[in-house]
Structure 1
Amino acid sequence: MKNPFLPSAIAAAVLVLVHQAAAQAQTAEAPASEPSKEVSKEIQQVVVTGVASARGVRKVDSAFSITTANEEQLKQAAPSSTADIMKIVPGVYAESTGGQSGANIEVRGFPSGSDSPFVSVQMMGNPIFPPPTLSFFEGSSAFRLDDTIERVEVLRGGPSTIWSNGQPGATMNFILKEGTDTPEGTVRFTTGTGSLRRVDMYYGGKISDGWYGSVGGFYRKTDGVRDAGFPADDGHQITATLTRNLDQGKLTLYARSTDDKNAFYTGVPLISSNGGRTISAFPGFDPLTGTLMSGEMRNFTIEAAPGKTLTKDLGDGRGLKATVFGANFDQKVGDWSISNKFNRFDGDLNTIAMFTGNNPLSMSDYINAAIASANGNAAVVAAAGGQLATSATATLVKGGAVSGSQQVVQAGLWAVEKQLKSFTDELRVSKEIFKDNTVTVGGYFADYSSHDVWYLGNSHLMTAVPQASLINVTLNNGVVVSKNGTDGNVFYAPVASYDGRNTAVFASDEWKVNDKIKVDFGMRHEQQKISGTISNLTSADTDNNPLTVYNNGTSMPNGSNTYLTRTDSANSFTIGGNYKLARDTSVFVRANRGHTFISFDDLRGAGTQANVNDSNLLPTPKVSQYEIGFKTASQLYTAYINAFHTEFDGIAFSQVLSNGQELRSISGSKGNGVEFELAVRPIENLQLQLTGDYQKSEYRDNPATAGKTVQRQPKLQFRFTPTYRIPFGDGNAAKLYATYTSIGERWADQANQQYLPSYRTIDAGVLFSFGDKIEVRLAGTNLNNELGLTEGNSRLTTGNVGPINARPLFGRTWEASLLYRF
């Protein structure tokens, strides 16, 4: 969807606001009415992400792009998962339709195909797991939302290249509630779509002089928006903080334990026509509520090796069982300020899930292909006594014949065990070397590991209907194509142990030139050393029977291993400044250069030490970003607007196809765009908010993709949110809110073959407040039941026309909650 008017309109709005702010700065202002409580909080909002000082800086005075959301704003956004919070952040597009875990998150112009390599998730300023993404892991999967969160800050680019784990893309930092002098407690009960049952609790307060504490968490169980016949989400979490106020300092300890099982949703059958521009429901399948998963296949078997079978539970999904412990220390000693942050993460993030493969086809077409494949395999024909197959019998595993016209699909039931551990520590020391000029130096250290056991493949044949039934297929020459639904082997089964260590030193200088101008500069040098011990693989027939073709050629470790290692280093910098037009209005400029290092998965994919050492095969990507922005906040309006330019040099991509083939390529990209967060309050209690971005980002440096649009990212996306509060007296009120979301067209792949059409959704809610004690909220998402696609068939490289597998939005959902504050 192209809308050249929108960027022009935004530019005009910026000029008007800048002119007005400049005029206010040069003339005496008439006394204004006091801002509302909510607006006052917005004007005085302090952010701590991306700044040198632990005490932070006012959001309107910050010289970088950052989005914030407090507890109420988070609830009003009604995120379906941690990743779904990103829908409120301009320049970021989150594909959160997989459920609680396993999202794909794309950042403005950064080339990425899956997961979230350019998004880091932090808690209290510490990265939960230092690498933002690995295969079958992305950072948001390690964090669950609940009522212990005070706010979230999402920094895009800016100075993040020199702090913490040096993420050049987006950093999502969750700030926990801490106890205060005023005790606060809440309990919230929630129900909704999918027989949701959830309770959240929180309590925080003063323990003794100088000591404060808090504790809270949740318990949840639900069948899910897509009913698989078994619970989609089942888990709990508890979080606690302990704070000690020091003389000119503060120490905060925090801990979190999570045990949560979450179903993972992949593609469903759909019909694509008009070159992919029109998407409609597949006959007999509701794409908004249906899933191929069913109770029949919940407990499935993997033939891992001769005499070795494993039973896995789809109900475990992409879950999280982990603990996090950390501490933040901030102390002023004379003219010096010292801060230190560390955390320890230990968790299992396993994936037991269905991954759709080839597009739907008829049972007859499947049988014809199976006959041709079997007859073309000399070993299979010999085992059948030289007899060629001419027909087949297809029956449901639970009984009953399958007609030739029945539409069927193949989907892999995969199992990936992932045990992650990490320790991070960041130390900063600051000193004012002359008036209003502060220098900060410090270091960052991260030690992390991953132990992986993979079973990919394990294809199953099933009916193309919700809660699908498994199918057995036997050829008339004795060849068993599918047994208990299994029609494919495990095609990739590595066992691997990885270790990584990053060490960085950095320095920055912040200079307040005068009351209007402030500039800063920072540099960082970082070294990464990673290693991996990866099992070498062989293939074998698990039952030594060539006629059972579904398990022939099963991948398995052969008992030997390959050790791979690599050390890299890189430099990053940031320079920026802001100019105050008025007390609460400023403009800023920013330039930075950052990098990413290769990951554990790059080692595994390279295969040999020679390939690992080849910087042409595995480059260290560099990214440059340039921004100019405008910020203002007042009782009447709020505006955060910035224009950006990105240049990306060399990143390695990989894609696992339905047959196990892994495709690899290297590309760069460049992009330009504008991001906006606007709000006007024309009358008391009414706010109209518009957020979003317009960008044009293209690949470069690779002849196969140069000039193509960067995959998965819309050129235009925006959200319009009106909010109106109706007071009833005596502290009672009702707040009505709604959001209209527009997501532009995208391409699912680098070659721009799989078109993803634009879509629009409507969300709405109402919050009733009865004094200071009781809140009742009713909210709904995708109320218009829009059939929008967030992902094409990532297991294929061809276009999407006719029957396809793709991942659509969740259908209409609702949620009701009752909160009691004590």
Structure 2
Amino acid sequence: MSHPHRIGALLGGVALAALLMPAVGLAQTATTTATNTAPAPQAAGAVDELQEIIVTGTARSDGMKKLDASFAISTIKAEDIVAQQPNGTADLLKLTPGLWVESTSGTAGPNIDVRGFPGGGDAPFITMQIDGSPIYPAPTLSFMDNSTLIRLDDTVERVEVLRGGPATVFSNAQPGATVNFIQRKGTDTPEGSIRLTVGDEGLYRVDTYYGGPITKDLNFMVGGFYRYNEGIRSTQFPADDGGQVVANITKKFENGEFTFYGRRTDDKNAFYTAIPLVSSNGGKNISAFPGTDPGTFSLYSNDVRNVTIETGPGQSKNVDIGDGRGIQLTTLGNTLDLDLKGWQLSNKMNFVTGRAFTQSEFTGSNPETLGQFISDTVTSANANAAVVAAAGGIATGGSAKIVGSGAALTNMNQQVIAVGMWSVDKRIQSFTDDARLSHELFPGNTLTVGAYFAQYSSKDQWYLGNNYLLTMQNHPQAVDVVLNNGAKASRGGLTSGSFYALDASYDGTAVAGFISDEWKITPDLRLDAGFRMEHQSINGTISNDSTGDLDNNPLTLYDNAASYTNGTYYGVSSHRTEPSWTVGANYYLTDDLSVYARVNSGHEFPQFDALRGGDYQMVNIRQQEVGLKTSSHYYSAYVTGFHNTFSGLLYQAEVVNPDGSGSLINEIYGSEAWGAEFELAVRPVTNLTVSFRGTYLDAKYQDNPTFNGDQVLRQPKFQFSIAPSYEIPLDWASLRLFGTYTHVGDRYGDPNNQQPLPAYDTLDLGVSAEFDRYTVQLTGTNLTDELGITEGNARVVGSGTSSSGVFLGRPLFGRSIHLSAAAKF
């Protein structure tokens, strides 16, 4: 379809959505303009929705009504968070259209994509904020996306999720999605709650907060959580274990307020990667690998929890895989808002320091028989003259045993799998400050000028690879193999060393100035425009690698070709200055129906990992969007059509070969995406609400002959959910029945579209009872135990499917039941 036709279809679709709102005629009298019409009677919830104030993406700290906003933004309230029972921060974002969220990794380490933005892993176009400040200025570094750096608990009052819009000008200039976690503050009236949650997978969790006055005009809030879990998929050890403490103090002045907050998080979480599955019918159908349950299967076990990896000649490191993917972070920040006789001053500061670590399993190769593994090892060893010479002859076979018990394995048809034990440690620190000054130039026109400063660093130590041979079973055991000429294929299960070792240190600085003007030309028409100029400087020191025999013994095959840092380093640096801008308009057709349009131009500076890979290109992003927002007694609708183009984007992946070796691949490409996102709700009868949210997307690669015309990986063309909720008022309590049916369309797991990921559907149900100051809630997720996969094999090039149909994919978690009880005080 040509661009003019696509634009016409986009505008027509948004207009049609407005015309299809049947309640417009029911809820109000037909009118010509919003200025001469009294609003129709509204339900309390609808009135609240119309008057809801949002602060994310706005120039002024006092924010604006959601219906006034000329951009797409969703709000998630505290009660919505509790109702969903998300297994992690990213899981919560499934409540937002326009985002594709893969949370099958567990609590941390998800993949999140935005509106067809070509990602490929992690969350490269997602910024997480606390009270308007970025947690870390760079949205994603390898093994560390923004969502991993924050944990949800009951100290969060609400979450605002902005897609596209004016964010290219403010804060860290995120062109994708900005997720702002707005914390509770203490009020003049003391209040608090405690909530206990248990889950059938072995979850035990407590959330609490309490706030109130200290003195007149000085309030406080304190809270947090602690959670213990053996893993969403059982690991045999405490997999999800930790918690956080959150506190803030707010001082109110006659002309504003100041809030200082602090967070300390110490949490570790099991990180789940792809497991063996079986594909048939050209990838359209998937089924369980024989002897496994994809909803609960885990390659973690006590037998392979503590491993020793070789880091260099005569050097080794003990790794506790039970540490998983986690953080040990301290966060401090403040917000200041003052009215200085017609000038509004706003300042938001944030400081973060600590660790983000990954000590986890990573799969890469399909399972095989023990006999095939030994045969392949014999062939490889006999092809190495040094091994044959040291052994005094070639090998003709081998034997295997269980490492822990020493029991011999004689069944050559026993299935085994090579699993990497990867160790990544990142020591991070960041400081950001966002200062703004706003002034009304004349009635209806407000000018805002501001400055943004960020300084951030990361010190990385990586050891990727370290394959261990495991029995292909739930909670596997390590296997040792010795060839009959004396060559040792493994040590304690370790069959190969690191394929990539890294010792690196990076420092980044960003300085930006921006200006924004908002002009309410008429009571119905509001325009805004913004411009930003930013300079970024990055300097890094990166280790050089060598590959060799770590113990100088050819007969120990497992460390004959390992990567290690050799003590020499090279430097990288980037210094760039780039502009970005945005223009938007919002127009009221009636008191409760507005339409908007926006264009923006943004970018992504090359970050630490891009420079390490030799990529110094800017990623340029152009976006256009049109939409409507409306709400009444009977319905609400937020619909946005969007178009975006990308150029200069880096696709980077860690590829693992069947023999345990690996490499890093880098590809430069672009993309184009068209789509629409929608949040709809109908209230046909008292106490019944049916919500409908979803995204249609047509996103294709371009500017790379390898990928041109292929569908952007992982993101479905169509996804939606239907969520009914029904309130039953009783004399002694209020019951609420709720549920969510979700459909996810077909996708591909690789940019070449050779790994099909078939569509799937899930069903979640819940019931809550609220009486007096107490609430009890029972929820069930994936109640049909649907086998759906969100990711294929991210560490191979091509389909990754064997001749027998076996492949690696990351499936949904199986059926889960949670029970929570809360008391307010």
Aligned equivalent of 2:320, options 298, 313, 322: 313
Aligned mates of 1:761, 1:775 — CA distance in 2: 26
Corresponding residue for residue 720 of structure 1: 722
How far apart, in 2, do the equivalents of 1:717 and 1:595 lie? Answer: 27
| Structure 1 residue 9, shift from structure 2 partner | 8.3
The superposition leaves residues 372-410 of structure 1 with CA deviations (integer Å, 9 ceiling, x where unpaired) of 11111122112112x111111011112323311111111
Deviation of 1:539 after TM superposition, in Å, equals 2.4
Aligned to 1:756: 757
2:80 to 73, 78, 87: 73
Count of residues in Structure 1 that have an aligned counterpart in Structure 2: 805
CA distance in 2, matches of 1:414, 1:12: 51
Verify: 1:480 aligned to 2:488, yes or no: yes
**Paired residue for 2:396?**
390
Q: Give the corresponding residue for 1:686.
A: 688
Identity percentage of aligned residues: 47
Name 1:595's counterpart in structure 2. Answer: 603
What's the counterpart of residue 794 of structure 1?
A: 794
Q: Give the letter aligned to residue 395 of structure 2.
A: A
Identify the match of residue 673 of structure 2 among 668, 671, 674. Answer: 671
Change (3 A) 1:207 1:29: same
- Given that residues 275 and 800 in structure 1 are in contact (C-alpha distance below 8 angstroms), is that contact kept between their aligned partners in structure 2? no
Task: Compute the displacement of 1:14 (Å).
Answer: 2.1
For 1:93 and 1:235, how far apart are their aligned partners in 2? 27
Given that 1:61 and 1:584 are in contact with CA atoms closer than 8 Å, whether structure 2 keeps it comes out as no
* Residue 288 (structure 1) shift: 0.5
**Residues 579-594 of structure 1 correspond to what in structure 2 (within 5 A)?**
579-594=587-602
3-state secondary structure, aligned to 1:769: strand
Separation of aligned partners in 1, 2:294 and 2:223: 36
- 1:43 is paired with a residue whose SS is helix
**1:254 pairs with 2:261:** yes
The answer to whether the 8 A contact 2:652-2:665 is kept is yes
Q: How does 1:143-154 map to 2 (within 5 A)?
A: 143-154=150-161
**Using the alignment, how far apart are the partners of 2:367 and 2:731 within structure 1?**
59
8 Å contact kept, 1:161–1:592: yes
Are residue 211 (structure 1) and residue 209 (structure 2) matched?
no
TM-superposed deviation, 1:354: 0.2
Q: Cα distance 1:740–1:144, how it changes in 2: closer, same or farther (>3 A)?
A: same
Alpha-carbon distance between aligned partners in 2 of 1:484 and 1:214, rounded to the nearest angstrom: 50
- Whether the aligned pair in 2 keeps the contact of 1:193 and 1:225 (CA below 8 Å) is no
Return the letter of the residue paired with 1:815: H
Take 2:633 and 2:252, find their aligned partners in 1: how far apart are those partners? 34
Give the equivalent residue in structure 2 for 1:633: 631
CA-CA distance at 1:181 after TM superposition:
1.7
Aligned-pair distance for 1:660? 2.0
Letter in 2 for 1:644: F
Matched, 1:430 2:438: yes
Give yes or no for contact 1:39–1:634 (8 Å, CA) kept in 2: yes
- Cα distance between partner residues in 2 of 1:501 and 1:476: 58
Q: Kindly indicate whether the alpha-carbon contact (under 8 Å) linking 1:647 and 1:669 is maintained by their aligned counterparts in 2.
A: yes
The offset of 1:13, in angstroms, is 3.2
1:160 is matched with 167
SS at the partner of 2:673? strand
Partner SS, residue 224 of structure 1: coil
TM-score under structure 2 length normalisation: 0.95
Change (3 A) 1:182 1:468: same
The answer to whether the aligner puts 1:360 opposite 2:362 as a matched pair is no
Residues 755 and 800 of structure 1 are in contact (CA less than 8 Å); yes or no, is this contact kept in structure 2?
A: no
1:464 aligns with 2:472: yes
In structure 2, give the amino acid aligned to 1:481. A
Task: Note if contact 1:191-1:197 (Cα within 8 Å) is conserved in structure 2.
Answer: yes
Deviation at 1:73, TM superposition (A): 1.2
Give, in whole Å, the separation in 1 of the partners of 2:125 and 2:48: 30
Q: Contact 1:264/1:318 (CA < 8 Å) preserved in 2?
A: yes
Provide the residue aligned with 2:276 in structure 1.
Answer: 269
Matches within 5 A, 1:30-429: 32-36=40-44, 38-385=45-392, 387-398=393-404, 399-402=406-409, 403-429=411-437
User: C-alpha deviations, 1:346-391, integer Å up to 9, x for none?
Assistant: 0201100000011111111111111111111122112112x11111
**TM-score, length-scaled by structure 1:** 0.96
Q: What pairs with 1:711-750 in structure 2 (closer than 5 Å)?
A: 711-730=713-732, 732-750=733-751
Structure 1 pair 245–818 and aligned structure 2 pair: CA distance change class (3 A): same
Give distance in 2, aligned partners of 1:635 and 1:131: 42
CA contact (8 A) 1:510 1:518 kept: yes
**Would you say the 8 A contact 2:14–2:641 is kept in 1?**
no
- 1:503-582 equivalences under 5 Å are 503-582=511-590
On the 8 A contact 2:496/2:559 being kept in 1, the answer is yes
1:482 aligns to what SS in structure 2? Answer: coil
Shift of 1:554: 2.0
Moved more, 396-405 or 95-104: 396-405
Matches of 2:695 and 2:168, distance apart in 1: 22
Deviates more, 1:358-367 or 1:684-693: 358-367
Q: Distance in 1 between matches of 2:547 and 2:248?
A: 51
**157-166 or 334-343: which moved more?**
334-343
Paired with 1:413 and 1:656, the residues of 2 have a C-alpha distance of 14
**C-alpha displacement of 1:285:** 1.2
SS in 1 for 2:20: helix
Equivalent pair of 2:415/2:472 in contact (CA under 8 Å): yes
Inter-partner Cα distance in structure 1 for 2:385 and 2:11? 63
Question: Once structures 1 and 2 are overlaid, which stretch shifts more, 410-419 or 188-197?
Answer: 188-197
* Aligned-pair CA distance for 1:618: 3.0
Name the aligned partner's letter for residue 638 of structure 2. Answer: Y
Which amino acid counterpart does residue 408 of structure 2 have in structure 1? Answer: A
Give the letter for the 2:709 counterpart: G
**Structure-2 change in CA distance of 1:779 and 1:153 (3 Å):** same
CA–CA separation in structure 2 for the residues paired with 1:709 and 1:440: 40
Partner of 2:649: 651
CA distance in 2, matches of 1:60, 1:179: 28
CA distance in 1, matches of 2:14, 2:445: 35
Aligned to 1:610: none
Aligned equivalents of 2:345, 2:462: Cα separation in 1: 44
Partner of 1:614: none
For 2:16, the equivalent position in structure 1 comes to 12
Alignment partners' CA distance in 2, 1:334 and 1:821 = 40
Contact residue 237 and residue 322 of structure 2 kept, 8 A: yes
Distance in 1, matches of 2:172 and 2:581, equals: 14
Q: Distance in 1 between matches of 2:305 and 2:478?
A: 11
Is the Cα contact below 8 Å between 2:675 and 2:697 reproduced in 1? yes
1:32 Cα shift? 4.9
Q: Which AA in structure 2 matches 1:323?
A: T
Task: Please name the residue that 2:3 is paired with.
Answer: none
Q: Unpaired runs of 5+ in structure 1?
A: 607-616
The correspondence of residues 611-622 of structure 1 with structure 2, limited to 5 A, is 617-622=615-620
1:479/1:547 contact within 8 Å kept: yes
Q: Provide the secondary structure at the position in 2 that maps to 1:163.
A: coil
Amino acid paired to 1:635? H
Q: Is the 8 A contact 1:699 1:706 kept in 2?
A: yes
Letter in 2 for 1:17: M
In structure 2, relative to structure 1, the CA distance for the partners of 1:295 and 1:6 (3 Å cut) is farther
What's the secondary structure of 1:159's corresponding residue? helix
Partner in structure 2 of residue 707 of structure 1: 709
Distance in 2, matches of 1:336 and 1:13, equals 40
| Residue aligning to 2:818 | 815
CA distance in 2, matches of 1:800, 1:57: 50
Rounded to whole Å, the distance in 2 between the matches of 1:383 and 1:366 is 22
Q: For 2:539 and 2:646, how far apart are their aligned partners in 1?
A: 26
Alpha-carbon RMSD: 1.8
- Helix, strand or coil: the match of 2:730? strand
C-alpha displacement at 1:166, in angstroms?
Answer: 0.2
**Which range moves more in the overlay, 591-600 or 655-664?**
655-664
